[in-house]
Amino acid sequence: MTSLPNLKIDPQRLWDTLMETAKIGGTPKGGIKRLTLSEEDRRVRDWFKAQCEALGCDVTVDEVGNMFARRAGRNNDLAPICMGSHLDTQPTGGKFDGVLGVLGGLEVLRTMHATGYVANAPIELINWTNEEGSRFAPAMLASGVFAGVFTPEYAFDRKDRDGTSYGDALDAIGYRGAEKAGGHRLGAMFELHIEQGPILEDERKMIGVVTGVQGMRWYEVTVSGQDAHTGATPMYLRKNALLGAARMIDAIDAIALEHAPNAVGTVGLIENKPNSRNVIPGEVFFTVDLRHPDEQVLDVMENKLRAKLKDVMGLLKLAYDEKQIWRSPAVEFAPELIACVRHGAEKSGYAMREMVSGAGHDAAYIARVAPTTMIFVPCAGGVSHNEAESTTPEECAAGAQVLLEAVLEYDRRLEA
């Protein structure tokens, strides 16, 4: 086993680059408006390509516009070790969401170039197209195509509010590449990102070692009882649908608490019929949102939900209909990559904590086709998707340094 040199990223160069590119689509309030496949997106893509080529990287583009900048390694038969995130933003986006993951990766490439360090495997930096999904829904569209979740045709047909298709927008800015999406080899992917939540700042930790993305399940429940006069119907003869729903709201809260601290359970929408002060409610519709990082725990929570519905409604002589209407499976990131991130944070001396992402990211789809993980750094107040989004130069530098260390450690382990 060879030991690694002590490569250090350049914090000032990274910060200057973040601030320089923030001018492309920069807003008066200090944010960025750089919608996918817009003229601003073309400008930042051209800039990105030129910067990577100046480092001797080959830049290729796939059919849905994903960009890959490749720095050759010593053994170019190995699948590339990748870093990446997205350069598109929300209409009132901040300077760091997605951008830090790409420009942090660029800083890693610049550091390797400046020191002449050549890794064992090729190292690639990826700009995923349309992560935000604000111009073309859904979000994470092009990483989804790469991972086989969507077909390329599905992506090309997405339309913005003006009726322009994704395919036409790609052509208009000249970023419809020749390579099949998903045809690109990908040995591993590390995505550096701001947390978009308040935990790291609250606990004064610099690095979030991200172990996965939580699973989500949505349900709809309709409870049926009988409308009846509130004055003339004695308590023991009522079929009060709202009472059934109320007991379930309390029960769902309890189910989440039984799986603390990682479970959450919410009834967020409720419709009561006929919603009249002197009528016992005959029908209630409500939604249920259950989330947990572990699918098996979600299965248990789902079973509890169904058992409780049966009990509560039986006792109150109510009928009900329940169905799961949507689920997004939990993602577990690759242990060998997580270990490299932890190693990188330890080597750099940063306080860290393990965490699960509450938000979706390109990495969640890429994890289906390649070993993947993420690195989080704090953002002030947990505020994101907002022009006021704020991460300090020190936090950006810490993330990029840990990204560098993690990539080099993974590369070293390939050789070992």
Q: How far apart are CA 244 and CA 284, in angstroms?
A: 9
- Closest CB 379 distance from Zn ion, rounded Å: 11
Please report how close the Cβ of residue 358 comes to Zn ion at its closest, in angstroms: 13
**What is the smallest separation between the CB atom of 413 and Zn ion, expressed in angstroms?**
28
Residue with smaller CB distance to Zn ion, 97 or 405: 97
Q: What is the nearest approach in angstroms of Zn ion to the Cβ of residue 144?
A: 14
Q: Which of 215, 293, 308, 213 is nearest to 254 (CA)?
A: 308
Contact 253, 262 (CB under 8 A): no
- Measured from the CB atom, the residue of 167 and 360 that comes closer to Zn ion is 360
Least Cβ distance, residue 100 to Zn ion (angstroms):
9
Stretch that binds Zn ion, among 73-81, 91-99, 219-227, 287-295 (CB under 5 A): 91-99
Residue 88 engages Zn ion in binding (rule: CB under 5 A): no
Compute the least distance from the CB of residue 350 to Zn ion, in Å.
21
Return the number of the residue (395 or 409) whose C-beta is nearest Zn ion.
395
Distance CA 217, CA 300 (A): 12
Binding mask 12-51 for Zn ion (x = CB under 5 A): ----------------------------------------
Closest to Zn ion by CB, 97 vs 294, is 97
Which residue lies nearer to Zn ion by CB, 98 or 344? 98
Rounded to whole angstroms, the Cα distance separating 139 from 132 reads: 5
- For the CB of residue 373, give the shortest distance to Zn ion in the complex, in Å: 15
What minimum distance in Å lies between the beta carbon of 138 and Zn ion? Answer: 14
71/53 Cα distance (integer angstroms): 9
**Per-residue mark of binding to Zn ion, 95-124 (x: CB under 5 A):** --xx--------------------------
259 C-beta neighbours (distance < 10 Å), count = 18
- Of the candidate spans 93-101, 168-176, 284-292, 397-405, the one that interacts with Zn ion by CB under 5 A turns out to be 93-101
Residue numbers 121-160 binding Zn ion by CB under 5 A:
none
Size of the site for Zn ion (CB under 5 A): 2
Q: How far is the CB of 159 from Zn ion (least distance, A)?
A: 22
Measured from the CB atom, the residue of 98 and 208 that comes closer to Zn ion is: 98
CB closer to Zn ion, 172 vs 359: 359
Which residue stretch of 94-102, 122-130, 258-266, 299-307 sits at the interface with Zn ion (rule: CB under 5 A)?
94-102
d(CA 365, CA 361): 8
Residues that bind Zn ion (CB under 5 A): 97-98
